[in-house]
Amino acid sequence: MATFATLVGFAATGAAADYRLGPMAVEAPPADEVPFAEPPVLESVDGILDVTLQVVLVDADGKPVDCGTPAATAFRAYKLPGDDRARPTGPTLRFDPGDTVRVAIDNRLCAGDDESMATLVGASPQVMIDQNRAHGADHTNLHTHGLWVSPAGNADNVLNIIPPGTRFQHEYLIPADHVPGTHWYHPHKHGSVQTQVRTGMAGALIMQGGIDAISAIAEATERLMVVQHFVPVEVAAEQARTLTTAAEIAFPPGEVTTINGLRAPTITTRPGKVERWRIIAAIADNPLALEVVHSASGDRLPLHAIAYDGIPVTTVDVLGDEPLRLFPGNRADVMVRFERLGDHVIADGGETIGYVRVEGEPVAAMAIPTAIDERYTHPSLLERAVDRNRSLLFSVLSRAGGGAPHFLIDGKEFDPNRVDQRIRLDHVEEWRIENNSTGPHPFHIHVNPFQIVDSSDPIYRARRGGWLDTAGIPPQQADGAPGYLTIRAHFQRFIGRYVLHCHFLGHEDRGMMQIVEVY
Ligand SMILES: [Cu+2]
């Protein structure tokens, strides 16, 4: 197997300053090309998926590092117990609606990576405000981003904390009527979410069924693309201390973009082929702007989006003139047809992150759907009576004396002991979420997804009625009015406390999060 260093493109012995490689060839894969590959897949059997994931600190070859022997270039990773090396992307978990999914997290990170966690455990409420900063990088937990499951107990409970040296068993009962789709898992321990996600802790959750059975989709070549932005552990730790403005924390420099942990991998396909890509923005910051370009002509290939955030659309969204924009946490299932021979690049913001080489004999004509039957997605709430309206405001306030600003929702930083939104079970609510910052904040709410009603961003306004679980609240408008996103959600089935937050995870770590309680 290729070493971890090869996979993510870092020198095994490189100092922190060497982690960023030079510019890649932009039109064709290099001579020593990396073939496209996917993470290992673990699939449910007879309705049960039972997995243990070890959380380990690894060296540049993916080998676990003993505590007390810091490596120059080390990452955090989800490792399978039987493997002697971790891969840079966690294993893919595949299951069906109605399944029971058990994930044990065995936290083998080194205690004392961050001493400040110890001072917070058991701290008085007056001290708790201090937790709204980067801290506790060796403590973790698990979030199943996009799954409609219980937020309580040992299910999708992100208020849980798994200290180093401990193991915690999760159990997710997947509803039989869950809309199947593309989701992902990552840690969500407040204070260390950004640093853990950008040093390697992410993997795909694929719920099978639904639109997978539509013939044009079933016939397409399916590929998973877990897109990650990597920095080594010591760089993430340094940046957590030194990057202070809202923009620096949301758009940190120096990340290496990978697909399934591979730097600029090459897909090989045949002319006429239609492919279905499950793309996951498994990132903490720096949104993606993805495009596929035919190298010889410079033409951008249309991407046909059949699902966003794992939830099928009803009218297929054809992206021709614009790149596919994904905020951290977003997913898109897109279909793309390769008609012409030759090399193509997959680019993110103009930087090459992959290649597609089209060669060989043409295949028979393959279809791409233009519409998807509404029975495959959530029933629309646009004509439903609204039980309650709410408004929320995301803002950033500079701190007296300097340093990182305060990241606020409704004027307050996160407090785990305060319930910010109490919601009746089964209510349909409409929320107007405003942003008076100069940059966007990606809004994410756990458990139930939401439907777009309106926005000051024309891209979202054009997608009125579409479903998401993460959407950028646009920045303050030219006339000084706040940017806004209006959504509807149906708070179905699950009671308990969970969270809404900014998915620029460095903003979340510093306080841009609220507790929701459905009762
Ligand atoms: Cu934010």
pLDDT tens digits along 61-87: 888 988 877 666 689 999 999 999 999
pLDDT at 25: 39
Please provide the CATH number assigned to the domain covering 388-518.
Answer: 2.60.40.420
Tell me what pLDDT residue 60 has. 83
The proportion of the chain whose per-residue pLDDT surpasses 90, expressed as a percent, equals 80
Q: Are 497 and 151 in contact (CB under 8 A)?
A: yes
Read off the tokens for 96: 């069906």
Position 150 pLDDT exceeds 50: yes
Q: Which residues contact 67 (CB under 8 A, 6 or more apart)?
A: 57, 110, 111
Which three-class secondary structure state does DSSP give residue 439? coil
Q: What confidence score (pLDDT) does residue 71 get? A: 62
Confidence of residue 117 (pLDDT cuts 50, 70, 90): low
Instruction: For residue 112, report the distance from its CA to the centre of ligand 1, in Å.
Output: 28
- Taking a C-beta distance cutoff of 8 angstroms, is the pair 174, 147 a contact? yes
3-state secondary structure of 194: helix
502 CA from centroid of ligand 1 (Å): 5
The pLDDT of residue 130 is above 60: yes
Backbone dihedral region for residue 238 (phi beyond 0: left; psi -120 to 50: alpha; all else: beta): alpha
* Ligand 1 center–CA 435 separation, angstroms: 9
Separation of CA 507 and ligand 1 centre (Å): 5
In this model, does residue 473 exceed pLDDT 70? Answer: yes
pLDDT of residue 488: 98
Burial category of 320 from C-beta neighbours within 10 Å (exposed 0-12, middle 13-18, buried 19 and up): exposed
Distance (Å) from CA 511 to ligand 1 centroid: 10
| Res. 442 pLDDT band, cuts 50 70 90 | very high
pLDDT of res. 292: 96
| CA 77–ligand 1 middle distance (angstroms) | 25
pLDDT the model gives residue 18: 28
CA of 506 to the centre of ligand 1 (A): 8
Which pLDDT score, from 0 to 100, does residue 470 have? 98
DSSP result, 288-336 = EEEEEEETTT-PBPPEEEEEETTEEEEEEEEESSS-EEE-TT-EEEEEE
Determine the average pLDDT of the residues in 235-244. 90
* C-alpha of residue 494 to centroid of ligand 1, in Å: 27
Report the separation in Å between the CA atom of 473 and the middle of ligand 1, taken as the mean of its atom positions: 9
Give the pLDDT confidence of 341-355 residue by residue, as tens digits.
Answer: 999 999 998 899 999
CA contacts within 13 A on the Cβ side of 513: 29
DSSP E strands in 13-60: the ranges are 34-35, 41-43, 48-58
Q: Ligand 1 center to residue 64 CA distance, Å?
A: 33
Instruction: State the pLDDT at residue 72.
Output: 63
Give the confidence band of 114 by pLDDT, cuts at 50, 70, 90: low
The hierarchical CATH code for the domain 221-228+240-374 is: 2.60.40.420
Q: What local confidence, expressed as pLDDT, does residue 451 receive? A: 98
Mean pLDDT of all residues in 216-241: 94
Distance 503 CA to ligand 1 centre (A): 6
- How far, in Å, from the CA of 9 to the mean position of ligand 1? 29
- 453-460: average pLDDT: 96
Compute the distance from residue 15 Cα to the ligand 1 centre, in Å: 31
Which pLDDT score, from 0 to 100, does residue 15 have? 30
**Interval between CA 395 and ligand 1 midpoint (Å):** 8
Residue 2 has pLDDT above 80, yes or no: no
The whole-number pLDDT of residue 401 equals 80
pLDDT for 198-217, tens place per residue? 999 999 999 999 999 999 99
- Per-residue pLDDT of 382-422, as tens digits, reads 999 999 999 999 999 988 887 789 999 999 999 999 999 99
Ligand 1 centre to CA of 142 (Å) is: 21
C-alpha 439 to ligand 1 mean position (Å): 8
In the chain, residues under CATH classification 2.60.40.420 are 4-213, 221-228+240-374, 388-518
What pLDDT, on a 0 to 100 scale, did the predictor assign at position 127?
46
Q: How far is the CA of 156 from the centre of ligand 1 (A)?
A: 22
> Does pLDDT of 112 surpass 80?
no
Predicted confidence band of residue 23 (pLDDT cuts 50, 70, 90)? very low
CA-CA distances (angstroms) from residue 9 to 32, 44, 99, 218?
Answer: 12, 32, 37, 34
pLDDT above 70 (res 20): no
Q: How many angstroms separate the CA atoms of 54 and 64, rounded?
A: 10
338: CA distance to ligand 1 center in Å? 37
From the list 239, 316, 218, 324, the residue with the least C-alpha distance to 285 is 239
Q: Is the pLDDT score of 501 beyond 60?
A: yes
pLDDT, the chain, mean = 90
* Token pair 């309680």: residue: 517
Contact 89, 62 (CB under 8 A): no
* Cβ-contact 203, 90 below 8 angstroms: yes
What is residue 129's predicted lDDT score, i.e. its pLDDT? 43
What is the Å distance from ligand 1's center to 247 Cα? 9
Q: Spelled out in words, what is the top-level CATH class assigned to the domain 4-213?
A: mainly beta
CA of 187 to the centre of ligand 1 (A): 18
Q: How far is ligand 1, taken at its centre, from the CA of residue 508, in Å? A: 7
For ligand 1, the distance from its centroid to the CA atom of residue 512, given in whole angstroms, is: 7
Query: From the CA of 277, how far away is ligand 1's center (Å)?
Result: 28
**CA 204 to centroid of ligand 1, rounded, Å:** 24
